[in-house]
Structures are given as structure tokens and as C-alpha cells.
Amino acid sequence: MKTDSKVIQTNPPPRFSDRAQALVGQEMFSVLERAQAIAAQGHDVYHLELGNPRLTPPPSVVKRLCEEIAKENFGYTQSAGHPELRQSVALRYSQKTNLRLTEKHVVISPANLIISQFLDLACNHADRVVFFGPAFPSYWAAAAHIGLEVANIQLRSEDGYQLTEGHVLRAISLSPRAIIINSGNNPTGAVYDRRVLDLLVDLCALHGIWLLSDETYAEVDFTGNYYSLANRLESHVVVLGSFSKVFSVPGFRSGYLLADPEVAEKFALSNSTLFSCLPIFTQLACASGLEVVDEYALDVRTRFLTATKLCTDMINGSGLLTCVPPQSGFYVFVNISGTGVDDRTFCSRLLNYHHTAVTPGRSFGEGYSGFIRIAACGDLPYLRTGMERVIACARELAESKELGQVRK
Amino acid sequence: MKTDSKVIQTNPPPRFSDRAQALVGQEMFSVLERAQAIAAQGHDVYHLELGNPRLTPPPSVVKRLCEEIAKENFGYTQSAGHPELRQSVALRYSQKTNLRLTEKHVVISPANLIISQFLDLACNHADRVVFFGPAFPSYWAAAAHIGLEVANIQLRSEDGYQLTEGHVLRAISLSPRAIIINSGNNPTGAVYDRRVLDLLVDLCALHGIWLLSDETYAEVDFTGNYYSLANRLESHVVVLGSFSKVFSVPGFRSGYLLADPEVAEKFALSNSTLFSCLPIFTQLACASGLEVVDEYALDVRTRFLTATKLCTDMINGSGLLTCVPPQSGFYVFVNISGTGVDDRTFCSRLLNYHHTAVTPGRSFGEGYSGFIRIAACGDLPYLRTGMERVIACARELAESKELGQVRK
């Protein structure tokens, strides 16, 4: 840096828009940054905050990625996504659902962005949207950004966070413009019942309500009874899928949606307006991954069933923390109320003193400040150590509570 | 496909939002799709529609890309972008500007998305924004999507599409919330005068107007006098940069912005809300590219000066089409009014009969239906053939005009 370099003037910027003022982002990424700052001080930080499976991706994914890079395939592609990948997704879902799906039903976009795109295409400012809590932070962030009124229907831990007919009827009675559901739930792992989901699709059709089915964790279902709303791909239904979790490539930022062609076309126009298109090489790598997805997902499911069982057993065996065993995915949503502190206090103490990062429960909606989300990612020894730190932190807090003093 | 598979019911979808109805996307991507459809029929299509430099990227970019992929560096990174890349960008601009810039001034995001993000952070629905026409299609698409009122101040071809003091005063007098300028212009290639740009920054500061300086083509400046508004990085100024053009990697979808840290933080929150983060490997590849950017850009500039000169000479030598020689970049904005047809007719005839894709002028704003944009990308023999096709098409149309008949 030159010694005569100037400091920039620091007048306040002009007023931000209402949407800018409503931006909250995803708290997991703030946690990641704090965790990286602590790691930079030389601490051995355990990362249980973000859902990064950290498995070895299928070799066919990496092979194709390298092949396309070797061809210097660095140009633009269609805004709706590369035709090869769209056709592969359509073929896979045609086989799964017995519907005649084509590439016109498929758009490639980052899975997280599809949430914002869906709400943007479905809702005007101040429209009402229904979530079933606890609900993924990006739903909240997207709804806040767009200025929507969120009706949060809380699911009950006593029912294993299941969606019931009663919840569906309550949601419809609120006359929302849109509903988001997330079977293979983040953070609870709940997998919803087919009859309840069919009822939801039918009632949304009847009342002209948009429905986003976030199926990011569909391939990591432990029940064997996963019901995809791709089976009910009517014009009001959008199904969101992701390659990040099943192929362990969250950094590709490649997801997809299935929708009626007229709706899919709007998403493609949204892509064209926002980011033009995605990289070709990551898209084609995912297309090659789809050739082996069933075999590979079997292994992924086995690993995460073991990993989440380890966490669940340690939590429920702690005599202090509790959780519902997940039916899918790799998250465990943990009740920490026995510690006497809220989620933020718990998380900052866990990170600062035990160098372990988890996500505060309130990121998943109001009413969850007595919870944290643990991402059971990493190998079993890593997870065991991370969980020991979580439980040690909880014990210290519980003891401090008895002594009437808590250090943050 | 199974023979008993079902056709999906085709009820119309629920009403789309106002924003969905206002989506127009970027016409170049529709042209690309039509061109690919014609190529799929077996025709040898010449692509002069999209700004894909199609040069070999710097070896250090591809090397680093492959190294990070070999490490399976497929996880998440910070929403604001990878620190190594942000630091590299900050260092480069600190050296260029003599300002003390740090990674806090830099956010990594797809360059095209930064346009939408800027307008979203600066403007509320129905706010006024000023463009100087002809202006890049994404500005129009983003403004339409957000529901902004656009005031388009047309620059004059007689002045080489230069931005003048008069244009600046006129823009300020319209009391907009935001102004977008694009020196190293797409589509005209004009490079703006430092004094006029300084006046614009000063007046925007005085009136609390947000200013986006789109500097995507800064590294492809032929004048040697390029003035970046990174030199004037005050709190109302956002500078947009891209790696796509200089490294010939548009498919990476990696751009960046420079802004006051408070403003940069809003962009990072926008990233976190919309798409979480970008791939690590493409970001680190760009960071390695920055080590050789000056040397590499010299070669890129030389090539595109030659390429645009070839096009310009052929156009102005045709006796029928005219253009202003660009001062930067690789586009040529061509007046086709001598052919007697409008841009859409010209483009569809050129694609259908001469298998050559270019972009209609009206994509760049109202008042340009007598123009087309040619992207002078590809090697010289390729370009020469493409240009011969453009001129042959123009000749046919001019002859048909004399005969009083035009086939589309």
C-alpha cells in the first residue's frame, strides 16, 4: 500500500430502498464467518452449522466436470439451463412419477434462488404466504425481502413435526397467495404423509394458491415412503430439487425446478433477467451424476442415517438436551431449554469457548429461540467430538444456571 | 417413456405477480436459442449475438480451477465472496486508484445480477432511474422487473455516443433515485471523459442519487485513457466489474462490485438471501487470473481492436450500413436503416437465410429499431465470414426495397 494513499470520504450513503432495509440473509452464513474468524486465530473449529455433506462426490460428476473444463467450455448457455441436464432431470422424474415430463418442465437455477424466484413470481408486496415452522431461513429471508406477510403455522414436536390435515385446513383458511412446504424437512427431518400432501395440492388447486414443494432432501429419505409432489405437477405446483446434498457439491450452486411449461418459462425469464445463465461445466457434471444417482444416494442415506442416529442418541442420552430423530436429511433440531439460556447465548458460548459452530433456532422462525440446529456433516469421529463439545457446553450452562451465573 | 404414462392436467396457473408479468429477460438469450435450433437442423450458424470473447483464458485461471477441483473444494464460502478473491480485487484497485481499499469494499456476485441487486437496493417501486441510450438490455430487464420508471437520455451517434455535460445536467434535473452509466459502453464502445464523469459523481453526491458505474469492459479499453469511478468510490457510488470478458470466461458467472463497506454489506446480504454464495473454484481461478491480468489484457485489447476494426471497415465500406468505431470492447452498433427494414426483420432474415445471429437494436432501448449489435467475437476468418453474411443480407434487403418486396 502506498503511504500517500487516500482514505475514502465517509458520507452516509443515500437512503436504501425498503427492500434493502428488509434484508436479513441467512444466519448460517454469519455463523460460518464468525467460525472462520475463530479458526483464523488458530483454533480447531468444528463446523456443524451449514448443510455441507462433505462426502466424496460420485466420480462421474468430477470426471465430467474436468472433461468440460478441459474443453474450455466456458461460454454461455440457455437461461433455462443446459438441455442435456434438463432432459436428464425430466427423464428421471418421468420414471419416478409415470408422468410425461420433458425439458420444458425443467429449469436449472441455484436451489436457494428458486425460493426467492418462486415468491417473486407468485406474490405481490404485502401478499400473505404460509410456512410451516420451524422453516428454512431462506424462506424467511426471501419473504422479508419481498415484503410479504408470513403466516407461520407451527408443527408440534410431540407429533414428530408432522404436517397434519388440521395444519393444511388452517393454512387454506388463511387465504394465502402461496404456501411453501418442505418434506424431507430442514431442520426437523420430518417426511410428510402422502394423503396430507395430496389434500394440500387439491385444496390449493381449488383456491388458486401457489404451492412450492421444497424437496432438497428427497434423496436423503430414510423412510422409503418419500412422496414427491412431482407426482402432482399441476399448474399451481412448483417442485424444487437440488444436486448439492445428494452429490455433496453445494458449492456448484446448481438446483432445479419442475413446473408447468408456462410457469417454467417465467422462471427462465427470471434467470435471464437476474443472472443470464449458470456455468455449463457444473450443469453437465450434474447430468453425469444423475446416471448413478440411485446407487450413490443409497450410500448417502446409509451414512446420514448413521450420523443422525449418533447425534440423536448423544442428545437424548445427555439428560439435558432433547430432539426428535429425523426421518431424512442430516439435521437435528435440538431443544436446549434445559440449559436455561436462549439459542444466541448458547451458540456464541459454544463457538467462543468450545470452538464449535451450530445454527440458532430462531433462524427457523419465531418461537424457536429454545432450539439449535446441528448439521450432522463430517465423518463419525468428527461428529462425535463436535457433539461432545455441544453437550459439554450445555452441561456448563446448566450448572451455571444452578449457580445463577452465565458467561456469554 | 412408458406407454401408460399420464399427460399432466393443463389448468391455467394462478395469477402471476406484477413483477412476473413485467419480466422480459435478455433478448440475446432468445436469439441464442433460435440460433441453436437452426444449428440443430445442420446449418453452420455464425454467432455474433452474445459477448463471449472465445479466447483461450489465461493458463493460470484454468490451472487454479483444476487444482481447486482436484481438492474437491465443493463447499460453501462467504456470501460476500471468497476472501482471497476479494483481497486480490481490493489490492488491484488500490494500486490503480491510490485509495486504501480492502476486502470490505468488495463483493463477488454475477456481474449481471449486480445490476438487479443495485436497482433493488437503491430504488422502490415506481422510482425513477436514468439510463443513457443505447443501454445494455439487462438494465431494461431489471428496471421493468422491479417496476421502475426509466428516463432514457439518448446519446448521439454524431458525437460518437459520448456522454456530455449537457446529458449529465439533464439526468440530474430529472431527480432520479439512481443513474446507471456504462463507460466502455455496450453496445457503442464509447469511453467517457473524465471531467464529465467527475461532474456526474459530484452532482449525484449533492442530490443524494445512487450511481452504478458498469465497468465490465474497462480492461478492453483502446484509448489508454480509461477513467474508472473506483477513483471516486464515495458512499453513493457502486462500481461493477467482471472477469467474464477479460479472462474469456463468461460461463464462470463471476463478477464483482466495489462500494462503501456499508453498501457492500447490503450486497452481501442480498447474496445471502438470493443464492447463498458462488462456487469457490471459479472464484479462486479468477484470483489467480488477477496475477497476470495486465499482461493478458494487453493481448485481449490488441485482438479486439483488430477484430472491431475489421467489422467497422467492412460495415462502413459497404455503402449501406454505418457504425461508429468503438473505443473499447468488442461490439459494433450498426445503423441498418439503409436496408429499409427494422431490426427484428433484419435479424430474423439474417438468421433464417444467412445462418448468422446478431442482436436487434431495440434490446438497447426505444429508438434503436434501426440498429443491430454485432459481437466481434471469434477469430478473424470467422468474423470476416460472419460480416460477409451480414452485408449480403443487407444488400438483398436493399435490393428488395427497390423492388418493393421483402421476404422475412
| CA max distance for chain B | 71
- How does residue A361 score in pLDDT terms, banded at 50, 70 and 90? very high
pLDDT, position B225: 95
What are the pLDDT digits (tens) for A23-36? 998 888 888 889 98
At A150, list the grid cell.
Answer: 408470513
pLDDT, position B53: 84
How far is residue A265 from each of residues A81, A106, A236, A272, B30, measured CA to CA in Å?
11, 9, 14, 10, 12
- How does residue A406 score in pLDDT terms, banded at 50, 70 and 90? low
Q: Does B122 touch chain A (CB under 8 A)?
A: yes
Give the mutation candidate from A3, A21, A23, A148 for the B interface (greatest B CB count, under 10 A): A23
- Considering only CB atoms, A17 lies closest to which of B54, B62, B122, namely B122
| CA max distance for chain A | 71
pLDDT, position B1: 40
- Considering only CB atoms, B269 lies closest to which of A25, A113, A280, namely A25
Cα separation, A269 vs A264, whole angstroms: 9
- Considering only CB atoms, A94 lies closest to which of B1, B10, B127, namely B1
3-state secondary structure string, chain A? CCCCCECCCCCCCCCCCHHHHCCCCCHHHHHHHHHHHHHHCCCCCEECCCCCCCCCCCHHHHHHHHHHHHCCCCCCCCCCCCHHHHHHHHHHHHHHHCECCCHHHEEEECHHHHHHHHHHHHCCCCCEEEEEECCCHHHHHHHHHHCCEEEEEECCHHHCCCCCHHHHHHHHHCCCCEEEECCCCCCCCCCCCHHHHHHHHHHHHHHCCEEEEECCCHHHECCCCCCCHHHHCCCCEEEEEECCCCCCCHHHCCEEEECCHHHHHHHHHHHHHHCCCCCHHHHHHHHHHHCCHHHHHHHHHHHHHHHHHHHHHHHHCCCCCEECCCCECCEEEEECHHHCCCHHHHHHHHHHHHCEECEEHHHHCCCCCCEEEEECCCCHHHHHHHHHHHHHHHHHHHHHHHHCCCCC
Which residue shows C-alpha cell 449533492?
A: B206
Q: For residue A207, how far is the Cα from the chain centroid?
A: 27
What are the pLDDT digits (tens) for A301-357? 999 999 999 999 999 999 999 999 999 999 999 999 999 999 999 999 999 999 999
Question: Which pTM value belongs to this model?
Answer: 0.95
Cα distance from A237 to chain B (closest Cα, Å)? 9
Give which of B41, B237, B186 is closest to A14, Cα–Cα: B237
When the pLDDT of each residue in chain B is averaged and rounded to a whole number, the result is 94
Give which of B220, B221, B255, B219 is closest to B238, Cα–Cα: B255
- How does residue A1 score in pLDDT terms, banded at 50, 70 and 90? very low
When the pLDDT of each residue in chain A is averaged and rounded to a whole number, the result is 94
Is pLDDT larger for residue A183 or for residue B10?
A: A183
0.90 surpassed by complex ipTM: yes
CB B18 to CB A124 under 8 A?
yes
Torsion of CA B350, B356, B357, B362, to 10 degrees: -30
- Considering only CB atoms, A252 lies closest to which of B74, B233, B271, namely B74
- How does residue A251 score in pLDDT terms, banded at 50, 70 and 90? confident
For the segment A259-281, the average pLDDT, to the nearest whole number, is: 95
Give which of A186, A275, A192, A197 is closest to A233, Cα–Cα: A197
Please list, in sequence order, all residues whose beta carbon lies within 8 angstroms of the beta carbon of residue A377, skipping any fewer than 6 positions away.
Answer: A47, A48, A50, A51, A52, A53, A54, A307, A330, A383
CB B13 to CB A275 under 8 A?
no
| pLDDT(B272) > 90 | yes
pLDDT, position B52: 83
Interface subset of B 169-208, CB within 8 angstroms of A? 177, 205, 208
At B215, list the grid cell.
Answer: 465497468
- How does residue B404 score in pLDDT terms, banded at 50, 70 and 90? confident
pLDDT, position A3: 43
pLDDT, position A28: 81
Q: Does A11 touch chain B (CB under 8 A)?
A: yes
pLDDT, position B3: 43
Chains A, B: CB contacts under 8 A, how many?
282
Give which of A25, A274, A20 is closest to B263, Cα–Cα: A20
Q: Does B363 touch chain A (CB under 8 A)?
A: no
- How does residue A2 score in pLDDT terms, banded at 50, 70 and 90? very low
Q: What residues of chain B lie within 8 A of the CB of A100, using their CB?
A: 1, 5-8
Which residue shows C-alpha cell 459520448?
A: B162
CB A26 to CB B275 under 8 A?
no
Cα separation, A313 vs A38, whole angstroms: 29
CB A274 to CB B112 under 8 A?
yes
- How does residue A52 score in pLDDT terms, banded at 50, 70 and 90? confident
For the segment B248-274, the average pLDDT, to the nearest whole number, is: 95
- Considering only CB atoms, B275 lies closest to which of A69, A112, A270, namely A112
